[in-house]
Amino acid sequence: MEINNTRNSSRESMESSKHDEPIQVRAILSCPNCGYKKKFKNQFLRKDLELLTVAVKVFEFITCNKCGDLIKLDLEFNF
Ligand SMILES: [Zn+2]
């Protein structure tokens, strides 16, 4: 019992320290039709990843301002 308790508590502290580290996120918008490309960089805390999900949903509807085609979105995460 005692061993189990120790293991659990150390795992918890590891996870909580990870929560404070920001995640680098790079969003690359590109147009498959005309080659238009734009990059965004942002930082999110692990607990704020919900904000990123919302932002991505907005990006999904972006159209190219050159040709009007739907923009392709690639996300790169740097943990
Ligand atoms: Zn385009």
| Euclidean distance between CA atoms 4 and 7, whole angstroms | 5
State in Å: Cα 31 to ligand 1 middle. 5
Residue 34 CB contacts under 8 Å (≥ 6 apart), including other chains: 64, 66, 67, 69
Helix (H) or strand (E) run with residue 6 in it: helix 2-19
Q: What is the DSSP-derived secondary structure letter of residue 66? A: T
pTM for this model (two decimals):
0.60
State in Å: Cα 63 to ligand 1 middle. 8
Residue 13 φ then ψ, to 5°: -70, -30
Asked if residue 71 lies in contact with residue 28, where contact means CB atoms within 8 angstroms, the answer is no
State in Å: Cα 33 to ligand 1 middle. 5
Per-residue pLDDT 10s for the chain (79 aa) are 555 555 555 555 555 555 578 888 898 989 999 999 999 898 888 888 787 778 777 766 789 999 999 999 888 988 7
State in Å: Cα 28 to ligand 1 middle. 14
